[in-house]
Chain A
Amino acid sequence: MAVLKTKIASMRFDPPVILASGVMGQTSSSMLKMHEYGMGGIVTKSIGLEPRAGHPNPTMVELDTGLLNAMGLPNPGIEDFLPELKSLISKVDIPIIASIFGSNREEFIDLAGKMEANGVDAIELNLSCPHAEGYGASIGSNPDLSGDVVDGVVSVTDVPILAKLPPLSDVSVTAKSVEHEGADAIVAINTVKAMALNFETRLPILGNRYGGYSGPGIKPVGLRCVYELFEAVDIPIIGCGGITRGRDALEYILAGASALQVGSAVYYRGREAAKLISEEMIDLMDEQDIKDIHSLIGAAHRC
């Protein structure tokens, strides 16, 4: 049977299907549940320094080809989140990655230090949320700002630092900047900035008007980014964006991803999404007698 296990920096993922930030990642009990249902790693909800209520509803809309959300980075704030995190870490042995967001270098440094002190295996920098002004993609769309944040966080922490990037046209420029400043891996992509309108009422549907598009419709965008990144940087890439089946996951591996994140798949496949996707990956690899997933990483670049 095919072997899926991979390593990124000091973290071991088996399966390399990781819960993406923003889905069921706010409480110890919900993240524990996602682990029980087969996730090989967990990325927490993006956490900031202060509690944040997020945007008014509607915060999520179902589309024909995916989902649109403008949650607006709701989170309990680092102080209220730490007990949830500690409780989770005491109960599981899979990698736990803390996602953090800030409006500047200092806020990221403050959050990263607190997360590391509480035992996380890695820190993911949210440089890519498309629907919270002053945060996320506001930083990630600027290569210098992104590099500066990475430089700051790397200088005060010892755990691996992952930079989650938005689906920019020139995503490689930001990726090279964060690699140069010491990031250990790239996560690509976050949701794609988008909106939904309603004809009868003449109104945008989301409370925030703009949101982030996820799910099957954005897979081609994610694949393109990962493919470009594989040629642009030497650090590992975690692929994310519209992965709902094993075949999607393997396409990301071929593009150059060493591991995968899934979020909307929990809507399309249920809580057992990671288990189903992993089984489908193994079946597809077995059909072609492929023993080790490493032989597929970036394989689409050989022709």
Chain B
Amino acid sequence: MTNIEILEIDEIVVETPTIKTFFFDWHFDIEPGQFVMIWVPGVDEMPMSLSYIYDKRGITVRNVGEGTKALHSMEPGDRIGIRGPYGNGYEIKGEKILAVVGGIGGASVLPAVEKASRENIEVDCALGAKTQKELLFLDRLYDLTNLKVATDDGSMGHPGFATDICEEMMKGVDMVITCGPEPMMKRIVQMAIHKGVPIQASLERYLKCGLGLCGSCVIDGERVCVEGPVFTGEELNNFEEFGKYDRDSSGRKKPLERPKQTY
């Protein structure tokens, strides 16, 4: 017996030109921010946040590599494997929170926004993407939050980055949650610490086993797959590698080279 459960994909929704959501029937208890390992049989296995955890369950995936390409070519009725959930989740506190979401980061943040909304916590949201067509979960966030949008090319909302608009939005909130490109999160964490607002951010690293053993996802000695993926501002502030380095499949340190912020 292994703990991999095989599921059929029930429904596929095209979210943006590069992002699709895959819905399936899976009943494990899960907290917003936790992740699962998705097996594309015969191709790859990848960590994925559950982007839907309430009325239906799903993962939202950007087509970036061999495994995600294989997933994007699947159709309803095709089979995937799932194991988990793994890692920790967001711990939502207070009466009003701010969610800062960049690119594919909405896949991790949306369930936390939904949970907050169900608990009558007011949510403000700054959503950023390269361009209007790549804004993920625009409708979901419009319904659930006080939403402000930023696009790099100015095709919708503020012309520029989500970081430009969120400083002002931090006033009067009890906490901030964020998921997006790491340079964006680094700036937001610095801003929040400067303003004394608690913050939690979900990190991404090259993740292999998901069980806290292989060490490939380690940042400053902490395992993104067990102690993370969500870390607090205090933890992140003590990490030397946060916003500076990640590691490739062989474990070599790579600078997070992002001359311009991208999603």
Residues of A within 8 A of B (CB): 22-27, 29-30, 32-33, 45, 51-54, 56-64, 67-69, 71, 74-77, 80, 196, 198, 200-201, 203, 205, 207, 263-264, 266-267, 271
Q: List 19 additional contacts besides A33-B222, A60-B210, A264-B213; criterion CB under 8 Å.
A: A22-B213, A23-B214, A24-B215, A24-B223, A27-B247, A29-B218, A30-B218, A32-B221, A53-B250, A58-B37, A71-B214, A74-B250, A75-B251, A77-B250, A198-B4, A198-B6, A198-B41, A200-B6, A207-B45
Given the complex, which residues of B lie within 8 Å of A23, measured CB to CB?
213-215
Known contacts A62-B83, A75-B250: A196-B2 contact under CB 8 Å: yes
Nearest CB of chain A from residue B77's CB, rounded to whole Å: 13
| Contact in complex: A29, B213 (CB < 8 Å) | no
13 residue pairs of the A-B complex, CB under 8 angstroms, read A24-B215, A29-B218, A57-B44, A57-B67, A60-B211, A61-B4, A62-B211, A63-B1, A64-B1, A71-B208, A77-B250, A263-B213, A267-B212
Given the complex, which residues of A lie within 8 Å of B218, measured CB to CB?
24, 26-27, 29-30
Given the complex, which residues of A lie within 8 Å of B220, measured CB to CB?
29
Residues of B within 8 A of A (CB): 1-4, 6, 37, 39, 41-46, 67, 79, 81, 83, 208-216, 218, 220-223, 247-253
| Contact in complex: A30, B250 (CB < 8 Å) | no
Contact partner of B221 (CB less than 8 A), chosen from A33, A63, A77, is A33
| Contact in complex: A53, B249 (CB < 8 Å) | yes
Compute how far the CA of A53 lies from the CA of B43 in the bound complex, rounded to whole angstroms: 16
| Contact in complex: A24, B213 (CB < 8 Å) | yes
Known contacts A22-B214, A59-B208: A201-B249 contact under CB 8 Å: no
| Contact in complex: B252, A51 (CB < 8 Å) | yes
For chain A, what secondary structure do more than half of its interface residues adopt (helix, strand, loop), or is it mixed? loop
Contact partner of B41 (CB less than 8 A), chosen from A32, A76, A201, is A201
| Contact in complex: A59, B251 (CB < 8 Å) | no
For chain B, what secondary structure do more than half of its interface residues adopt (helix, strand, loop), or is it mixed? loop
Nearest CB of chain B from residue A164's CB, rounded to whole Å: 17
Given the complex, which residues of B lie within 8 Å of A205, measured CB to CB?
2, 4, 39, 81
| Contact in complex: A61, B2 (CB < 8 Å) | yes
Minimal Cβ-Cβ distance residue in A for B253: A80
Nearest CB of chain A from residue B84's CB, rounded to whole Å: 10
Given the complex, which residues of A lie within 8 Å of B251, measured CB to CB?
26-27, 45, 51, 74-76, 80
Minimal Cβ-Cβ distance residue in A for B252: A76
